[in-house]
Amino acid sequence: MNAYVDAVESPAGPLAFAVDDVGALIRLHFAESDHGAVMEEGLEFEGYAVATDEARTARVREELSEYAAGCRTTFDVPLALTGSEWQKAVWRELTRIPFGETRSYGEIADRLGKPGAARAVGRANATNVLPLVVPCHRVISADGTLGGFNGGLHLKTRLLEHERRVLSQAG
């Protein structure tokens, strides 16, 4: 298995990412996250041979850069989702949350036909390795507070503020 790594700037600081041989996104990692592990080390631990190839990473780099510039509100890059069927269902539902909007963990559970499974949605969010593109930053607690974010609440805040700013400038 090969992983091709690259990096771009994002509203939450430097963002490293990796794609597979066909250009599907397999990882995103905020450099300023609360987790110290380097993305490449994690990929190697999982058995990937890590390399660079700007041609393979170009599409993802372009879409992430457009998001950062406020020119893109949805992503079209292919995603390589790896996880349980429940995790994949949650992550697919997250991609349906519109840019600049939020949903509660309970709302996501309800949309998946699993009322009462808010904590299970939270656990799936915590294992999302494609933050931003699979926008777990748009999921909040039922009381409207931000709740958790794998990279840290400071990054979640920056991403939500970026999306609100883009929408206010467009409107």
Question: What region does 23 belong to: left with phi over 0, alpha with psi -120 to 50, or beta?
Answer: left
Annotation says 71 is catalytic: no
Among 94, 124, 136, 159, the active-site one is 136
Residues identified as active-site? 136
